[in-house]
């Protein structure tokens, strides 16, 4: 049997664990730049606050209902996620980490679900829900139901009448549209479809989803462990940027962040793409463009990547435009040890660069994210003091005795 | 249960060092060191102080209500959520929406929070109160001034 263990309101739960005053209150966690809502507590969900909504639209609603809004704290969430996984590992069962707050587990003994919930909550303070089913897709479906149960667990029995088709694992907004256009709106209706039709309209992936819903396991692990193909770092700007200097500064920050991710995963990149765009809601003046280049040598050295990014920005930047979004995409990733040398390129002093980056990463890790940054980077604008509670000696929870 | 064939990659904990000497002495002119047989591993604080890493947290405290238990203002506490809060343990608890550190006593079915300072009074915890044990304090780290 597959168990899908999912943390309840994960980011909000992390925050409530270290600030008891936040418990049982409507709480929302905001994205970088405090632009949109990325997490809601149970009470905030009850106030019908939607996921992903832009903050400015809901500010009044927050004030009226005493909703607490706080900036995100990813070092905390990442650490708590690792703790949940480490706790699950003590059960010595086949375990697969699916996302920051979801894991699949395999077990024949259904009674273990209760022990898992208890132990995860006791050890980490994070409440979880468990869905159990003969396939991963059904475990995920059961998990949706579990979230509304007092017990927090649910063993799959049958697909509920009104279970929406878009709630099925593997069916996103694009497929939802397509299915709705054929009058298929519930999971039950989806199950009744002809297999050839499903394969034609949704490819073999859609067919696998159908089989899984019928109890035939076919979403094997191999697909889950896809080695990283790309790293992206991009943001929308609350206030549009109107000068080359500002845009270059922000872009450099994104490149530095993405390079940090590269180094942390032991990777290098050979292909860099940057993209910029103005406000897509102002259709008449909308401008978006991107530029890519292949690097002569695979690298994860921030200064070099920043240099390329700036050069490309010069090519696509247009004066007079108000930029709302920018980002960088690193592809053609390879292991940091592998190196294809280019006869014609000037070989960089890789050892010195490597040591510089290691020192940079070490300092950032020790003193909290991004203490040291490249001169080209934009300094964070009025951030809330990062209280990473569990990842920095200087930011531990303080208790008054 | 099918055996899973995936590989799990564990990130090395760079913060804790366990230095194992590869060999203890350079053998010069064939004279081995008499201490060779006794070389043991280096001592690691994490191993000593942390039993359940996933459930262990650190907190900084301020204030004097637990001074007689050896907890001084500015000290660092190691808190283990995996341990059960039994009688007489020092715990981190939530009381009325705030964190506190006190010794718990269970007497005749009643629960008390005891400070460790004559200037502070014990508190009985009743059903209606907003109270929850957060974790058990295992070690108090005090810097020698």
ipTM score for this prediction: 0.76
Per-residue pLDDT band for A6 (boundaries 50, 70, 90) equals very high
Question: What is the C-alpha to C-alpha distance for residues A367 and A385, in angstroms, rounded to an integer?
Answer: 13
Average pLDDT over residues A317-344: 78
* Residues with Cβ within 8 Å of residue A281, at least 6 apart in sequence: none
Q: Give the strand pairing for B56-62 and A398-400.
A: parallel
A108 contacts chain B (CB < 8 A): yes
Evaluate if residue B23 carries a pLDDT over 60. Answer: no
A371 contacts chain B (CB < 8 A): no
Interface residues of B toward A, Cβ cutoff 8 Å, are 1-6, 8, 52-55, 57-66, 71, 73, 76, 81-82, 92, 94, 97-101, 115, 134
Question: What is the C-alpha to C-alpha distance for residues A61 and A34, in angstroms, rounded to an integer?
Answer: 16
- B113 touches B123 (CB < 8 A): yes
The CA-CA-CA angle for residues A179, A181, A187, to 5°, reads 30
The pLDDT score that the predictor gives to residue A281 is: 80
Of the candidates A167, A165, A53, A76, which has an alpha carbon nearest to the alpha carbon of residue A124?
A76
Q: Which residues of A touch B62 (CB under 8 A)?
A: 398-401
Q: Do B1 and A107 touch (CB under 8 A)?
A: yes
Question: What is the C-alpha to C-alpha distance for residues A268 and A278, in angstroms, rounded to an integer?
Answer: 30
Question: What is the C-alpha to C-alpha distance for residues A133 and A159, in angstroms, rounded to an integer?
Answer: 11
Strand partners, B79: B57, B137
Q: Do B81 and A108 touch (CB under 8 A)?
A: no
CB atoms within 10 A of CB A371: 11
Question: What is the C-alpha to C-alpha distance for residues B2 and A367, in angstroms, rounded to an integer?
Answer: 44
CA A347 to chain centre: 36
Q: Among residues B65, B73, B86, B110, which one is catalytic?
A: B65
Q: Do B54 and A401 touch (CB under 8 A)?
A: no
Q: Among all chains, which residue has been given the structure tokens 């997490």? A: A39
The CA-CA-CA angle for residues B58, A24, A132, to 5°, reads 85
- DSSP reduced 3-state for A4: strand
| pTM tops 0.80 | no
Q: Is B84 marked active-site?
A: no
pLDDT in tens, B41-71: 788 899 999 999 999 999 999 999 999 999 9
Average pLDDT over residues A363-371: 54
Strand partners, B103: B90, B114
Q: Do A23 and B100 touch (CB under 8 A)?
A: no
Q: Do B2 and A94 touch (CB under 8 A)?
A: yes
Q: Is B65 marked active-site?
A: yes
Closest Cβ opposite residue A21 in set B6, B64, B97: B97
Question: Residue length, chain B?
Answer: 145
Which segment of A69-78, A120-129, A375-384 scores lowest on mean pLDDT?
A375-384
Instruction: Tell me the pLDDT of chain B averaged across its residues.
Output: 85
Closest Cβ opposite residue B60 in set A90, A221, A398: A398
């Amino acid at each position: 049997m597959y168990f899908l263990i999912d943390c309840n309101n994960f980011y909000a739960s992390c925050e409530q664990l270290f600030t008891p005053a936040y418990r049982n209150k409507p709480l929302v966690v905001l994205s970088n730049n405090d632009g949109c809502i990325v997490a809601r507590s149970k009470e905030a969900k009850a106030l019908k606050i939607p996921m992903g909504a832009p903050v400015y639209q809901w500010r009044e609603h927050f004030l009226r209902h005493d909703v607490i809004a706080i900036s995100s704290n990813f070092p905390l969430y990442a650490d708590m996620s690792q703790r949940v996984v480490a706790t699950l590992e003590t059960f010595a069962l086949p375990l697969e980490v699916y996302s920051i707050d979801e894991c699949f587990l395999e077990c024949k003994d259904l009674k273990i679900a209760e022990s898992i919930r208890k132990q995860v909550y006791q050890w980490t303070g994070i409440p979880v829900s468990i869905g159990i089913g003969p396939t991963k897709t059904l475990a995920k479906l059961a998990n949706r139901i579990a979230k509304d149960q007092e017990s927090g667990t649910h063993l799959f029995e049958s697909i509920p009448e009104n279970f929406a088709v878009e709630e099925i694992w593997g069916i996103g907004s694009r497929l939802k549209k397509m299915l709705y256009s054929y009058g298929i709106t519930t999971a039950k209706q989806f199950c009744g479809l002809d297999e050839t039709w499903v394969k034609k309209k949704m490819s073999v992936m859609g067919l696998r989803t159908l089989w899984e819903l019928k109890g035939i396991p076919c979403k094997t692990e191999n697909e889950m462990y896809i080695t990283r193909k790309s790293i992206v770092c991009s943001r929308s700007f609350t206030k549009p940027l109107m000068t080359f200097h500002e845009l270059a500064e922000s872009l450099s920050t994104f490149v530095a962040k993405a390079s940090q991710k590269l180094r942390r995963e032991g990777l290098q990149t050979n292909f860099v793409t940057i993209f910029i765009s103005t406000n897509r809601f102002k259709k008449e003046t909308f401008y978006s463009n991107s530029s890519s280049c292949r690097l002569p040598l695979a690298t994860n050295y921030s200064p070099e990547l920043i240099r390329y990014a700036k050069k490309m920005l010069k090519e696509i930047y247009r004066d007079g435009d108000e930029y709302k979004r920018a980002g960088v995409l690193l592809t053609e990733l390879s292991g940091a040890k592998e190196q294809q040398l280019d006869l014609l390129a000037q070989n960089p002093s890789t050892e010195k660069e490597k040591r510089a980056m290691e020192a940079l990463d070490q300092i950032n890790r020790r003193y909290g994210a991004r203490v040291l940054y490249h001169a080209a980077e934009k300094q964070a604008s009025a951030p809330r003091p990062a209280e990473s509670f569990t990842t920095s000696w200087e930011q531990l929870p303080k208790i008054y005795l | 249960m099918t055996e899973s064939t995936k590989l799990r990659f564990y990130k090395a904990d760079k913060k804790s060092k366990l230095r194992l000497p590869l060999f203890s002495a350079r053998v010069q002119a064939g004279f081995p060191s008499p201490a060779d047989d006794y070389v043991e591993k280096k001592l690691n604080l994490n191993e000593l102080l942390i039993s359940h890493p996933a459930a262990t947290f650190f907190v900084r405290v301020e204030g004097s209500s637990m001074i007689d238990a050896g907890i001084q203002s500015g000290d660092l506490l190691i808190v283990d959520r995996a341990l059960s809060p039994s009688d007489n343990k020092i715990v981190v608890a939530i009381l009325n929406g705030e964190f506190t550190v006190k010794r718990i006593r269970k007497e005749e079915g009643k629960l008390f929070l005891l400070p460790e300072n004559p200037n502070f009074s014990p508190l009985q915890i009743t059903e209606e109160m907003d109270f929850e044990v957060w974790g058990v304090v295992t070690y108090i780290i005090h810097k020698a001034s």
